[in-house]
Structure formats: C-alpha cells, structure tokens
Structure 1
C-alpha cells in the first residue's frame, strides 16, 4: 500500500513542517515556540515513517524506525511543554510531572540504543505491508504503555485546565489539544489490537487530522497575535504609545507612536527594557512587577502618563504599556492649582493657600521664631471714589509688587481681601522684623507718592513669637496693631518688641 506507507506520511511531514515554520513566527507568543517544536517533531516522525515504507532492506527500515522511536520517547515532554506554555501554569505540579515523565524516557532511550546486546526492549523484527513489526518484550511493552498513559493524562489534564480560560481563548486551546491527541489514540489502538488492520497505518498518519486541528487554531490567529486589520488600522494609528513586553523583559511589539517617542528601531526582537528604559527606572520596575500600576514620567519637554497592565492569563507575566501625552492636561492642572492658590488681581497667595503653607512651615520649623505683618492701605476708599475702581485695582497691584520686592525670598505674602495684606517671616528677630516693616512702609510711600495728589500710604501692625507660632494669635495681635497705627496718624508701624505668649 504505497499510498498509506509512503505518500501519506510524506504529505503529513510536509504539512507539519510548513505549519511548524509558520508557528515559529509567533515564538515569542504564549505557546508559539512549543507548538512549533511539536509540529517539527511530528514532521520528523512522518518523514521517518515514509522513508521506512520506501526502504527495501530490513536494516534500512529499522534505522528509520529507530529515528521515529527516539522522537516517540520525547513526545510526552513536548506535549507537556505545549500545555505548560499555553496555559502558563504557575504551580510546581507540572515540574514534578516532567520529572515523572523524563526518568522513564531516559531509561527507554538507553535500552533502545543498546537493545542489540541485551534484547530487553524487543526480541524479533519482521516486515508487514512495508512497515517494520517489532515483537516487544514485557519491559518494552510496559514502557510503551507508560508513554501512552502519560500522554492520555496530559491531554486530559490540559483539556481540564483550559476550562478556566476565557471562551475566546478556550476554543483555540481545545483545537490544539485535539490535534495533539490524535497520535495518542492511534498508538493506543495499535498496542491494544496488535493483530488488527490498524497495524497497517503508521502512527504518523494521525498527525494528518491533527495538523488540520493546528491549522484551524493558527488560522483563527487570535491565539497568538492581532489580526492584520486591527494592527494596521488601530494598533499603529493610535496616538497613544503601546509596548508589549514578555516576562523576560523582551520587547515583543510596539506601535508607531511608541517607537517615535523613545526612538525604537523597527525590529524589536532583541531589545530588552533594561537598556531601552534605562532612563525610566519607575516604568521599568512597573513592568517587572507584572503591571497593574500607573505613573507619570517626563520625556523631553512633555509629560506622559504610563499605564502598565498584564495582558491576561494566556500571557503569563507579559504586560502592555500605554503611554499618553498629558502635557496639556498637566499644564491645565498647574494653571488651576495656581489660580486656586493665588489672588486673581495681585497674583500673591490667597488666604487659604497662605494658611496651608503656614501650617506646612510650622511642621518643618516648629521651634523657629516667626514674625507677622498686617498691612492696610490708608484711605483706600477715597482712591476708589475719586479715581474709580480700575485705579484702585492698579494701586493694589503696585502696592503688592512693592511689598514683595522688599521681602526675603522665603517670606510669605498674601492678600487677605480688600486693601489688606499679611506677611509671615520665619527666622527673624523682633528688631529685624520692625526694620523690615519700616522698609516696606517707606517703599510704598515713596513709590506711590505720584499715584494721586495725596499719594498712597500703608499702616502696618507687627507681632512676633519665639516658637510654636499660632497663626490666629499672631494675626489677632498684628491686626490690633494696625488699628493702633491708623488711630495714631496712619502711615506708620506699630507693634510690641516682646514675643507673644503662646
């Protein structure tokens, strides 16, 4: 039967080899490399069976049978590899299972190689319908049944574990399981019925329907990769940068936006994040942690938000990073924050921001001396009534500028409302506080002399605390001193030299 003995095995071999090379394209995807190895092993088995049917001499037939036999002993390990990589099993049981399988495989391989000297695996050979028929010893039969039993357990285990997957992944895994189980059932039938017609069919023929199952899984493509339309029309056209990294830190893919952003070459096959993201340690650490985090980074002059998420159970620790330019959003937030803290007219701190900053300073410098100035423009209502509110606003802006120009860099200035201002000064002694207040008063009087016929002046009240300063107490005392200045002729500084009792 040359068709069964030669043509079909060779056809199966070419089909498995083609599918194995195609699956090799997805070697970085979960299950891709393992499935490629499985199909390569199937191709070797099929070619060996075809060559066995083609050969005329018994020795040549047996040599090709030996090749198929050695592949046969490794079948369990490859099936376990496929299941492990597809389902990404994290527990230790698959590793123990691998040891359970591997030890008898080594024994069987050694006994097969040395059988001509001891005859422990088989005792006789013959040719039936172009194929070598081997009479196995009880030990050889036991090892063969062991292989079959392990294969059945593996396929059943893989099918059982796939029940926890999402439906869109589960049916693809089941197609792969079905493809791997075909040779198992044929081998079991040949061992269970040694004198039946099933012996005519080489075991590799079962890879033919099995290859069809693999072809369905690969053709659907959702098991491994994006569809071409999704990639070309969505993945590469998204304004956000996207990068996919496997559990070893290798960059599997990146879209056009991400490549342009961090200067990635087109071929990312050999790149790892430890070199590509060496300037972004927080991003790199988020990827190594397996995702589920969000962080802000700065690339060049722009702000970016990076969201790192795991790809899901089918991809083990692989992650996808989404990088979005948030420069405009950050600038808006900064403007809003600035506006929430600043007086809209003069640009100095408002009272809420002043109180918050004072509390922060108090925590960092709890024992330092603090001085307080409260400043109130003299006869400001007359300025508004005579020259209008626009002139009054201009006067407030100019006065705030002159006050700020004559303060120290760390002093806090705020507009409390109307024509009243407040200043907090850390690390200052009482004499220096009064001198600073006189400097501010003189500057306002001098600079604002030409603003109106009577000029613009300011009355100032000061207060002081050695340590543990209380804002309300300082303000009450300084505010009372302002009224003392106004009642004594205005345009002067009032306030005690001694510290408050707090």
Structure 2
C-alpha cells in the first residue's frame, strides 16, 4: 500500500509490512477519519466499494460517503464513539441497516466495524467496511417470498396479519372496515374448464383488486378463491363503494377458456364496519364471513354489510 492511501504511523518493520499487505489486498474497505470527520486514509477496496478513483477520497469529509438524511445522525454517533470508553464496536443490527453513498449517487448497504486508534499526533477512527448489498437483497427477496401469495402477488394470510398489526402500532383508526370477497361458483368453474381456468380467474381478480382499491387499503389472498380487504378510516358507506367498484369491474371482465367457450364471473362480499382495534381483527373477520355467507345464500354477486352486530344490509348487483 502506498503512503497515499495509508500514511506511516511507525517505523517500518516486518510485521508492519505484513499489516500493510493485508490492508491493501483484503476485500473489505478500510477508512480512517480524524476527530473532525476528514478522511485521512483509505485502501483500494474502500475506493471500489464507494466508486471513487484512486486517491480521490483522501482529505474529503466523511459526509461524501453518507446519504444526506443520515449525516447529522452519523456525526453524532462518531462524536459519541470518540468520547466513549469503548475501543471497538459493530455498527448496525438485525433490524437496522447501515447505508452508504456511492460516487454515482446510488446507495450501498454496509456492514461496518469501527475502532479507535492513534498516530503520534492525533486520534483517529478506523472503519472496516463490507459491502453487504447482495446479502440484503437476498434477505429481502426471501422476506417477499415468505409474505407473498405466489399465484397473485398479493400478501398471504400471515403477512396480512403482520401488516395489520404494524398499522395498529401507529395508532388505531376511529372506524374501519373489513371485507371478505369470494369468487362465485368457483368449484363449478374448475370442474368444467380445469384448474388453469380457476387460476386465471384468481389472477385476474387479484389484478382488479390491486387496480381498484385505494392506496391506503390492505389486500391479501385469504385462501383459495377468498380475498380480504382492510379499509382503515372508512365508514360503512365508503367501504361498500370501494367493494362495489371491485365487484362491478370483475363482473365486466370477459374470460376465454382453453377448453373452449367464454364467459364472465362474479364475486360476493361481506363487509363489517366497526372500531377495529389491535385485538379486533379476528372478530371482524368472523362477522364479515357471516355477511359473506348471507351474500352467497341471497343469490351471489352481492354485497352484504354489517354496521354493528344487530344491523345487516344486503345489496344486489343492481343496487
């Protein structure tokens, strides 16, 4: 390693040469800053990770390697670390990510170990940096697959529960609605045209659901041909309006089956509107399921809403 990257801090010795070779050739980046946050040393791997040319980082503030929204927070961390008693620590945790800024403006996910050291004249902080972007991307893909219904791309049941809980953690809405929607005559469709036709119907309905509901609504495939909606801060009347748009759009869709023939399909829905708190989802779903059963029994292609346990209102397709 040349002095441009890593200045001499002691007389050259055989061990020092070994250290220089290790730091120069390892894949991990090594960056050193002084107490003012100025980069005083770096190795080639650090330049590669952050996309800078040879020697360009030296003398620049550490801020050039940080997204703007993280700079003040990071400066406080560095100050506290310099002032603290600890000599080394790993930055980040299982639930947190360290994000750096590349020269081209893109972000890179990092694992960083920091330690304090000294030259003959000043204290320095050394960061050993590893690019973990690929690992983060892989973990996120695994999480997406675990949370997503593979046929429709919607949330699965478990992810719906988790997303609902996350919403409730930020405050319970005064009034919300839960809707269960079930494709009508689905078994007959499978029996007559095959499971490919059933899959096509489910996929088309999921697409309509995504395109029709509002940005703040939560949708999932509940299981089989059944879907669920959580409509926060939504009155009974507004919930019916949302679900009616879904019902009408699906009824208008025309299908052509591989086994021959074409046709359309319908969906029935049950809606419950209440003050649905953290522990109230299961009860709301159970009541929406009763309303859905009433919609099926009443002729299908219908919406039945329950505004409270004693209030049930049924609406046909032409309401």
If the TM-score is normalised by the length of the shorter chain, which range does it land in? 0.7 to 0.9
CA–CA distance in structure 1, aligned partners of residues 255 and 62 of structure 2: 65
8 Å CA contact retained: 1:311, 1:318: yes
Query: Equivalences for 1:319-358 in 2 at 5 Å?
Result: 319-358=125-164
Q: Which is further off, 474-483 or 242-251?
A: 242-251
Instruction: Give the Å deviation of 1:285.
Output: 4.5
- Paired with 1:443 and 1:375, the residues of 2 have a C-alpha distance of 13
Question: Is 1:464 aligned to 2:252, yes or no?
Answer: no
Shift in Å, 1:413: 0.7
Q: Which residue of 2 aligns with 1:495?
A: 305
What is the deviation of 1:294?
A: 1.2
Taking the TM superposition and a 5 Å limit, the aligned residue runs for 1:394-433 are 394-433=200-239
Q: How does 1:183-332 map to 2 (within 5 A)?
A: 218=11, 220=13, 222=15, 226-227=16-17, 230-232=19-21, 234-246=22-34, 249=37, 251-260=39-48, 261=50, 263=52, 266=55, 271=59, 273=61, 279=68, 281=71, 282-288=73-79, 289-290=81-82, 291-295=88-92, 296-299=98-101, 300-310=105-115, 317-332=123-138
Structure 2 partner of 1:207: none
Kindly state the Cα deviation for residue 385 of structure 1 after the two structures are TM-superposed: 2.0
Distance 1:487 1:361 in 2: 33
- Name which of 191, 196, 202 aligns with 1:385: 191
State the Cα distance separating 1:347 from its structure 2 match: 0.5
- Following superposition, the deviation at residue 314 of structure 1 comes to 9.1
Q: What do the CA deviations read for 1:22-50 (whole angstroms, capped 9, x no partner)?
A: xxxx9963xx5xxxxxxxxxxxxxxxxxx
Change (3 A) 1:219 1:431: closer
The equivalences for 1:38-187 within 5 A come to none
Structure 1 residues 292 and 277: CA distance shift in structure 2, 3 A: same
Partner in structure 2 of residue 476 of structure 1 = 286
The secondary structure found in structure 1 opposite 2:250 is helix
Is this contact kept in 1: 2:29–2:129, CA < 8 A?
yes
Provide structure 1 residue ranges, at least 5 long, that are not aligned to the other structure: 1-25, 33-217
Does the 8 Å CA contact 1:287/1:308 hold for their aligned counterparts? no
Q: Please, what TM-score do these two structures have when normalized by structure 1?
A: 0.50
Aligned to 1:115: none
Aligned-partner SS, 1:346: coil
Unaligned runs of 5+ in 2: 1-5, 83-87, 93-97, 311-319
**Number of matched pairs:** 282
What per-residue deviation string (whole Å, max 9, x for no partner) do you get for residues 101-143 of structure 1? Answer: xxxxxxxxxxxxxxxxxxxxxxxxxxxxxxxxxxxxxxxxxxx
Instruction: Give 1:362 shift.
Output: 2.5
SS of residue in 1 equivalent to 2:25? coil
Offset at residue 277 of structure 1 (A): 5.1
Report the aligned-residue RMSD: 3.2
Q: Aligned with 1:318: secondary structure?
A: strand
The alpha carbon displacement at 1:400 in A equals 0.9
Cα 1:244–1:363 change in 2 (3 A) is closer
Q: Give 3-state SS (helix, strand or coil) of 1:491's partner.
A: coil
Within 2, Cα distance between the matches of 1:342 and 1:27?
A: 51
Could you say which structure has the higher helix fraction?
Answer: 1
Cα drift, residue 426 of structure 1: 1.4
Give secondary structure in 2 for the equivalent of 1:305.
strand
Specify the SS of the correspondent of 1:360: helix
In the TM superposition, 1:365-376 aligns within 5 A as 365-376=171-182
Partner of 1:438, secondary structure, is helix
Q: CA 1:305 to 1:312, structure 2 compared with 1: closer, same or farther past 3 Å?
A: same
**Cα deviation per residue 1:365-402 (whole Å; 9 max; x = unaligned)?**
42421111111111211222222222211211111111
Q: Structure 2 CA distance, aligned partners of 1:481 and 1:275? A: 57
Give the Cα separation in 1 of the matches to 2:57 and 2:203: 58
Distance 2:283 2:176 in 1: 12
**CA–CA distance in structure 2, aligned partners of residues 387 and 416 of structure 1:** 23
For residue 239 of structure 1, give the secondary structure of its aligned residue in structure 2: coil
Which of the two has greater strand per residue? 2
State the secondary structure of the residue aligned to 1:343.
Answer: coil
Q: Alpha-carbon deviation of 1:358? A: 1.4
**Alignment match of 1:364 (pick from 170, 184, 209):** 170
